Protein backbone atom coordinates (compact mmCIF):
# COMPACT_ATOMS: atom_id res chain seq x y z
CA UNK A 1 0.00 0.00 0.00
CA UNK A 2 1.30 3.46 -0.91
CA UNK A 3 1.40 6.23 1.71
CA UNK A 4 -0.14 9.69 1.48
CA UNK A 5 0.63 12.27 4.15
CA UNK A 6 -1.72 15.17 4.63
CA UNK A 7 -0.06 18.18 6.26
CA UNK A 8 -2.90 20.15 7.81
CA UNK A 9 -5.87 18.25 9.19
CA UNK A 10 -8.40 21.06 8.97
CA UNK A 11 -11.40 21.23 6.64
CA UNK A 12 -9.56 20.23 3.46
CA UNK A 13 -7.17 17.82 5.22
CA UNK A 14 -10.04 15.93 6.86
CA UNK A 15 -12.02 15.78 3.60
CA UNK A 16 -8.93 14.58 1.72
CA UNK A 17 -8.49 11.76 4.24
CA UNK A 18 -12.14 10.76 3.89
CA UNK A 19 -12.01 10.72 0.06
CA UNK A 20 -8.71 8.83 -0.05
CA UNK A 21 -10.15 6.23 2.33
CA UNK A 22 -13.37 5.83 0.31
CA UNK A 23 -11.25 5.28 -2.81
CA UNK A 24 -8.97 2.84 -0.93
CA UNK A 25 -6.10 4.75 -2.53
CA UNK A 26 -3.30 4.67 0.06
CA UNK A 27 -2.50 4.52 3.76
CA UNK A 28 -3.02 7.97 5.27
CA UNK A 29 -1.07 10.01 7.79
CA UNK A 30 -2.75 13.19 8.98
CA UNK A 31 -0.40 15.75 10.52
CA UNK A 32 -1.36 19.01 12.21
CA UNK A 33 0.01 21.31 14.90
CA UNK A 34 -3.38 21.22 16.66
CA UNK A 35 -3.28 18.56 19.36
CA UNK A 36 -5.91 15.85 19.00
CA UNK A 37 -7.35 17.00 15.65
CA UNK A 38 -5.39 14.67 13.32
CA UNK A 39 -5.71 11.80 15.80
CA UNK A 40 -9.46 12.36 16.22
CA UNK A 41 -10.16 12.60 12.48
CA UNK A 42 -8.00 9.54 11.77
CA UNK A 43 -9.91 7.51 14.37
CA UNK A 44 -13.31 8.74 13.19
CA UNK A 45 -12.64 7.86 9.52
CA UNK A 46 -11.10 4.51 10.54
CA UNK A 47 -14.31 3.67 12.37
CA UNK A 48 -16.24 3.95 9.08
CA UNK A 49 -14.08 1.25 7.46
CA UNK A 50 -16.40 -1.64 8.33
CA UNK A 51 -19.25 0.14 6.56
CA UNK A 52 -17.26 1.55 3.65
CA UNK A 53 -15.14 -1.59 3.32
CA UNK A 54 -11.63 -0.17 3.12
CA UNK A 55 -8.56 -1.82 4.63
CA UNK A 56 -6.06 1.01 4.57
CA UNK A 57 -4.52 2.42 7.73
CA UNK A 58 -5.10 5.97 8.95
CA UNK A 59 -3.02 7.59 11.64
CA UNK A 60 -2.87 11.06 13.12
CA UNK A 61 0.20 12.85 14.47
CA UNK A 62 1.55 16.20 15.64
CA UNK A 63 5.05 15.38 14.40
CA UNK A 64 6.37 15.95 10.91
CA UNK A 65 8.47 12.78 11.30
CA UNK A 66 5.26 10.78 10.79
CA UNK A 67 5.44 11.66 7.08
CA UNK A 68 8.56 9.48 6.71
CA UNK A 69 8.73 7.62 3.37
CA UNK A 70 5.49 9.07 2.02
CA UNK A 71 4.81 8.60 -1.69
CA UNK A 72 2.60 11.68 -1.86
CA UNK A 73 2.31 14.68 0.46
CA UNK A 74 -0.66 17.03 0.16
CA UNK A 75 -0.20 20.31 1.99
CA UNK A 76 -3.07 22.39 3.37
CA UNK A 77 -1.28 23.64 6.50
CA UNK A 78 -1.81 27.33 7.08
CA UNK A 79 -4.53 29.84 7.66
CA UNK A 80 -7.50 30.24 5.32
CA UNK A 81 -9.18 33.51 4.29
CA UNK A 82 -11.75 35.25 6.42
CA UNK A 83 -14.51 37.17 4.63
CA UNK A 84 -13.06 40.39 3.22
CA UNK A 85 -9.51 39.01 3.07
CA UNK A 86 -7.78 38.28 -0.24
CA UNK A 87 -5.69 35.15 -0.75
CA UNK A 88 -2.66 37.42 -0.84
CA UNK A 89 -3.34 38.61 2.74
CA UNK A 90 -2.22 35.16 3.88
CA UNK A 91 1.27 35.52 2.43
CA UNK A 92 3.49 36.11 5.46
CA UNK A 93 1.97 33.57 7.83
CA UNK A 94 1.63 30.82 5.26
CA UNK A 95 5.11 31.36 3.80
CA UNK A 96 6.63 30.61 7.20
CA UNK A 97 4.47 27.50 7.64
CA UNK A 98 5.12 26.15 4.12
CA UNK A 99 8.83 26.77 4.48
CA UNK A 100 8.89 24.65 7.67
CA UNK A 101 6.83 21.93 5.99
CA UNK A 102 9.20 21.94 2.99
CA UNK A 103 12.23 21.46 5.22
CA UNK A 104 10.53 18.53 6.94
CA UNK A 105 9.73 16.96 3.56
CA UNK A 106 13.41 17.30 2.59
CA UNK A 107 14.32 15.40 5.75
CA UNK A 108 11.65 12.70 5.83
CA UNK A 109 10.42 12.01 2.28
CA UNK A 110 12.51 13.84 -0.35
CA UNK A 111 11.26 11.56 -3.14
CA UNK A 112 7.55 12.23 -2.56
CA UNK A 113 5.21 13.87 -5.07
CA UNK A 114 4.04 17.13 -3.50
CA UNK A 115 0.66 18.78 -4.02
CA UNK A 116 0.28 22.23 -2.49
CA UNK A 117 -3.17 23.64 -1.74
CA UNK A 118 -2.29 26.36 0.77
CA UNK A 119 -2.97 29.91 -0.46
CA UNK A 120 -1.80 32.15 -1.99
CA UNK A 121 -1.33 29.09 -4.15
CA UNK A 122 1.13 30.06 -6.87
CA UNK A 123 3.52 31.68 -4.38
CA UNK A 124 3.20 28.88 -1.80
CA UNK A 125 3.98 26.12 -4.29
CA UNK A 126 7.21 27.98 -5.15
CA UNK A 127 8.10 28.26 -1.46
CA UNK A 128 7.37 24.55 -1.04
CA UNK A 129 9.64 23.53 -3.92
CA UNK A 130 12.36 25.95 -2.79
CA UNK A 131 12.40 24.71 0.80
CA UNK A 132 11.90 20.99 0.10
CA UNK A 133 14.43 20.98 -2.77
CA UNK A 134 12.40 18.32 -4.62
CA UNK A 135 12.68 18.37 -8.42
CA UNK A 136 10.30 21.01 -9.82
CA UNK A 137 8.33 18.36 -11.73
CA UNK A 138 7.63 16.56 -8.42
CA UNK A 139 5.93 19.58 -6.87
CA UNK A 140 2.65 21.02 -8.16
CA UNK A 141 -0.13 23.30 -7.00
CA UNK A 142 -3.83 22.46 -7.01
CA UNK A 143 -6.06 25.24 -8.35
CA UNK A 144 -6.81 24.80 -12.05
CA UNK A 145 -8.88 21.64 -11.59
CA UNK A 146 -11.01 23.39 -8.99
CA UNK A 147 -11.42 26.59 -11.01
CA UNK A 148 -12.25 24.59 -14.16
CA UNK A 149 -14.65 22.40 -12.25
CA UNK A 150 -16.49 25.47 -10.96
CA UNK A 151 -16.79 26.83 -14.48
CA UNK A 152 -18.00 23.46 -15.80
CA UNK A 153 -20.66 23.34 -13.10
CA UNK A 154 -21.99 26.82 -13.91
CA UNK A 155 -22.11 26.06 -17.66
CA UNK A 156 -23.86 22.72 -17.11
CA UNK A 157 -26.45 24.42 -14.90
CA UNK A 158 -27.11 27.08 -17.52
CA UNK A 159 -27.32 24.70 -20.50
CA UNK A 160 -29.17 22.05 -18.51
CA UNK A 161 -26.84 19.28 -19.72
CA UNK A 162 -24.84 16.74 -17.76
CA UNK A 163 -21.68 18.15 -16.24
CA UNK A 164 -19.93 15.08 -17.66
CA UNK A 165 -20.36 16.60 -21.15
CA UNK A 166 -18.60 19.88 -20.35
CA UNK A 167 -14.94 20.40 -21.22
CA UNK A 168 -13.20 23.60 -20.29
CA UNK A 169 -10.20 24.79 -18.35
CA UNK A 170 -8.65 27.77 -16.66
CA UNK A 171 -5.09 29.05 -17.18
CA UNK A 172 -2.85 31.37 -15.17
CA UNK A 173 -2.67 32.14 -11.48
CA UNK A 174 -5.25 31.13 -8.87
CA UNK A 175 -6.80 34.47 -8.11
CA UNK A 176 -8.85 37.21 -9.62
CA UNK A 177 -6.57 37.22 -12.68
CA UNK A 178 -7.16 33.55 -13.61
CA UNK A 179 -7.91 33.10 -17.32
CA UNK A 180 -10.96 30.93 -18.09
CA UNK A 181 -10.47 29.59 -21.65
CA UNK A 182 -13.79 30.02 -23.39
CA UNK A 183 -12.25 29.21 -26.78
CA UNK A 184 -11.48 25.68 -25.56
CA UNK A 185 -14.90 25.14 -24.02
CA UNK A 186 -16.86 22.28 -25.57
CA UNK A 187 -20.01 20.37 -24.80
CA UNK A 188 -19.56 16.75 -25.80
CA UNK A 189 -17.01 17.87 -28.39
CA UNK A 190 -19.22 20.70 -29.78
CA UNK A 191 -17.67 24.18 -29.40
CA UNK A 192 -19.58 26.54 -27.10
CA UNK A 193 -19.94 28.99 -30.06
CA UNK A 194 -22.57 26.65 -31.55
CA UNK A 195 -24.63 27.00 -28.39
CA UNK A 196 -24.29 30.78 -28.51
CA UNK A 197 -25.42 30.78 -32.17
CA UNK A 198 -28.39 28.57 -31.26
CA UNK A 199 -29.27 31.07 -28.51
CA UNK A 200 -28.95 28.42 -25.83
CA UNK A 201 -26.54 30.66 -23.93
CA UNK A 202 -25.65 34.33 -24.40
CA UNK A 203 -22.29 36.10 -24.38
CA UNK A 204 -23.35 38.14 -21.37
CA UNK A 205 -24.35 34.96 -19.47
CA UNK A 206 -20.95 33.44 -20.27
CA UNK A 207 -19.23 36.59 -19.07
CA UNK A 208 -21.11 36.42 -15.80
CA UNK A 209 -20.12 32.72 -15.50
CA UNK A 210 -16.48 33.72 -15.98
CA UNK A 211 -16.78 36.39 -13.27
CA UNK A 212 -18.48 33.91 -10.93
CA UNK A 213 -15.68 31.38 -11.59
CA UNK A 214 -13.04 33.99 -10.79
CA UNK A 215 -14.89 34.78 -7.55
CA UNK A 216 -15.68 31.08 -6.89
CA UNK A 217 -13.77 30.88 -3.61
CA UNK A 218 -14.99 34.27 -2.43
CA UNK A 219 -18.64 33.34 -2.97
CA UNK A 220 -18.31 30.25 -0.77
CA UNK A 221 -16.27 32.19 1.76
CA UNK A 222 -19.06 34.77 2.12
CA UNK A 223 -21.66 32.02 2.58
CA UNK A 224 -19.67 30.00 5.12
CA UNK A 225 -18.39 33.11 6.94
CA UNK A 226 -15.83 31.00 8.82
CA UNK A 227 -13.51 29.07 6.50
CA UNK A 228 -13.40 28.53 2.77
CA UNK A 229 -14.40 25.87 0.25
CA UNK A 230 -13.15 22.40 1.10
CA UNK A 231 -15.13 19.64 -0.61
CA UNK A 232 -14.30 20.58 -4.21
CA UNK A 233 -10.69 21.54 -3.43
CA UNK A 234 -10.17 18.13 -1.79
CA UNK A 235 -11.72 16.24 -4.73
CA UNK A 236 -9.45 18.13 -7.13
CA UNK A 237 -6.27 17.28 -5.22
CA UNK A 238 -7.23 13.61 -4.93
CA UNK A 239 -7.57 13.47 -8.73
CA UNK A 240 -3.97 14.70 -9.02
CA UNK A 241 -2.70 12.20 -6.43
CA UNK A 242 -4.55 9.36 -8.16
CA UNK A 243 -3.11 10.24 -11.57
CA UNK A 244 0.39 10.11 -10.05
CA UNK A 245 -0.02 6.93 -7.98
CA UNK A 246 -1.81 4.98 -10.71
CA UNK A 247 0.29 6.46 -13.54
CA UNK A 248 -2.96 7.50 -15.24
CA UNK A 249 -1.30 10.31 -17.24
CA UNK A 250 -4.34 12.55 -16.91
CA UNK A 251 -4.18 15.94 -18.58
CA UNK A 252 -5.02 18.36 -15.79
CA UNK A 253 -4.67 22.12 -15.27
CA UNK A 254 -2.21 22.53 -12.38
CA UNK A 255 0.27 25.10 -11.12
CA UNK A 256 3.47 23.74 -12.68
CA UNK A 257 7.06 24.96 -12.84
CA UNK A 258 7.66 26.60 -16.21
CA UNK A 259 11.04 26.56 -17.86
CA UNK A 260 10.38 28.79 -20.84
CA UNK A 261 6.98 27.36 -21.77
CA UNK A 262 4.36 30.08 -22.38
CA UNK A 263 7.28 32.55 -22.34
CA UNK A 264 7.65 32.09 -18.55
CA UNK A 265 10.84 30.95 -16.84
CA UNK A 266 11.35 29.74 -13.26
CA UNK A 267 7.84 30.40 -11.99
CA UNK A 268 4.87 28.23 -11.06
CA UNK A 269 1.80 29.05 -13.14
CA UNK A 270 -1.46 27.23 -13.89
CA UNK A 271 -1.17 25.38 -17.23
CA UNK A 272 -2.37 22.01 -18.61
CA UNK A 273 0.03 19.21 -17.65
CA UNK A 274 0.18 15.43 -17.82
CA UNK A 275 0.63 13.77 -14.44
CA UNK A 276 1.99 10.24 -14.33
CA UNK A 277 4.40 8.17 -12.24
CA UNK A 278 7.25 10.62 -12.93
CA UNK A 279 5.24 13.58 -11.63
CA UNK A 280 4.62 16.33 -14.17
CA UNK A 281 5.63 14.41 -17.29
CA UNK A 282 4.68 17.01 -19.87
CA UNK A 283 3.53 20.61 -20.06
CA UNK A 284 1.03 21.19 -22.83
CA UNK A 285 1.62 24.48 -24.57
CA UNK A 286 -1.34 26.10 -26.28
CA UNK A 287 -1.28 28.98 -28.71
CA UNK A 288 -3.07 31.95 -27.19
CA UNK A 289 -4.83 34.65 -29.17
CA UNK A 290 -4.08 38.33 -28.45
CA UNK A 291 -6.82 38.73 -25.89
CA UNK A 292 -5.92 35.51 -24.04
CA UNK A 293 -2.22 36.40 -24.12
CA UNK A 294 -2.98 39.82 -22.62
CA UNK A 295 -5.01 38.30 -19.78
CA UNK A 296 -2.43 35.54 -19.26
CA UNK A 297 0.43 38.07 -19.06
CA UNK A 298 -1.53 40.11 -16.51
CA UNK A 299 -2.02 36.98 -14.45
CA UNK A 300 1.69 36.10 -14.72
CA UNK A 301 2.66 39.56 -13.48
CA UNK A 302 0.48 39.09 -10.39
CA UNK A 303 1.97 35.62 -9.76
CA UNK A 304 5.55 36.85 -10.24
CA UNK A 305 5.10 39.78 -7.86
CA UNK A 306 3.68 37.63 -5.09
CA UNK A 307 6.15 34.78 -5.60
CA UNK A 308 9.13 37.15 -5.39
CA UNK A 309 7.68 38.66 -2.20
CA UNK A 310 7.25 35.18 -0.67
CA UNK A 311 10.70 33.92 -1.67
CA UNK A 312 12.25 37.02 -0.10
CA UNK A 313 10.69 35.95 3.22
CA UNK A 314 12.40 32.52 3.24
P1 LIG B 1 -8.24 24.97 7.98
O2 LIG B 1 -9.50 24.22 8.17
O3 LIG B 1 -8.01 26.16 8.83
O4 LIG B 1 -7.01 23.95 8.12
C5 LIG B 1 -5.69 24.35 8.12
C6 LIG B 1 -4.99 23.50 9.16
O7 LIG B 1 -3.59 23.78 9.09
C8 LIG B 1 -5.42 23.79 10.60
O9 LIG B 1 -5.96 22.61 11.19
C10 LIG B 1 -4.14 24.24 11.28
O11 LIG B 1 -4.04 23.81 12.63
C12 LIG B 1 -3.10 23.57 10.40
N13 LIG B 1 -1.75 24.13 10.53
C14 LIG B 1 -1.39 25.42 10.72
N15 LIG B 1 -0.05 25.49 10.80
C16 LIG B 1 0.44 24.23 10.63
C17 LIG B 1 1.74 23.67 10.59
N18 LIG B 1 2.84 24.43 10.74
N19 LIG B 1 1.86 22.34 10.39
C20 LIG B 1 0.77 21.56 10.25
N21 LIG B 1 -0.49 22.04 10.27
C22 LIG B 1 -0.65 23.36 10.47
O23 LIG B 1 -8.12 25.46 6.45
P24 LIG B 1 -8.61 24.69 5.12
O25 LIG B 1 -8.28 23.25 5.27
O26 LIG B 1 -9.99 25.11 4.81
O27 LIG B 1 -7.65 25.41 4.05
C28 LIG B 1 -6.26 25.17 4.04
C29 LIG B 1 -5.56 26.08 3.05
O30 LIG B 1 -6.02 25.80 1.72
C31 LIG B 1 -5.77 27.59 3.25
O32 LIG B 1 -4.56 28.27 3.04
C33 LIG B 1 -6.78 27.94 2.16
O34 LIG B 1 -6.69 29.30 1.78
C35 LIG B 1 -6.32 27.03 1.06
N36 LIG B 1 -7.30 26.77 0.00
C37 LIG B 1 -6.82 26.74 -1.28
C38 LIG B 1 -7.68 26.50 -2.33
C39 LIG B 1 -7.15 26.47 -3.73
O40 LIG B 1 -7.90 26.28 -4.66
C41 LIG B 1 -5.73 26.67 -3.97
C42 LIG B 1 -9.06 26.29 -2.10
C43 LIG B 1 -9.50 26.33 -0.77
C44 LIG B 1 -8.61 26.57 0.27
Q: Look at ligand 1, atom 13, and give the residue with the nearest C-alpha.
A: 77
Q: Look at ligand 1, atom 34, and give the residue with the nearest C-alpha.
A: 80
Rounded CA separation 295/219 (Å): 22
Q: How far is the CA of 192 from the centre of ligand 1 (A)?
A: 36
For 82-128, how does the pLDDT look when each residue is reduced to its tens digit (9 = 90+)?
778 887 788 999 999 999 999 999 999 999 999 999 999 999 999 99
- Decide whether any atom of ligand 1 lies within 6 Å of the 77 Cβ: yes
- Decide whether any atom of ligand 1 lies within 6 Å of the 229 Cβ: yes
DSSP-H helix ranges across 109-184: 121-132, 144-159
- Decide whether any atom of ligand 1 lies within 6 Å of the 4 Cβ: no
- Decide whether any atom of ligand 1 lies within 6 Å of the 70 Cβ: no
Alpha carbon separation from 79 to 37, 82, 83 (Å, rounded): 15, 9, 13
pTM of the model: 0.97
Residues 212, 216, 221: CA angle, nearest 5 degrees: 125
Q: In what order do the strands lie in the sheet with 190-191?
A: 166-167, 186-187, 190-191
For 22-64, how does the pLDDT look when each residue is reduced to its tens digit (9 = 90+)?
999 999 999 999 999 999 999 999 999 999 999 999 999 999 9
Amino acid sequence: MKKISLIGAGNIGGTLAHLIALKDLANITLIDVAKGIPQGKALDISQSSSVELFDLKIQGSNNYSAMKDSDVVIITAGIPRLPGMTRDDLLETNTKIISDVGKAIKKFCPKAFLICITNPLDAMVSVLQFSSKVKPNMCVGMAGILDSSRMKYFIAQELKVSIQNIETFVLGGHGDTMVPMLRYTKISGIPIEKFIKNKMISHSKLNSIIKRTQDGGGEINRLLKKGTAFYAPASSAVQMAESYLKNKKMLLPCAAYLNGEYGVKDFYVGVPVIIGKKGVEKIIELSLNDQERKKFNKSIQAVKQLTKKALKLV
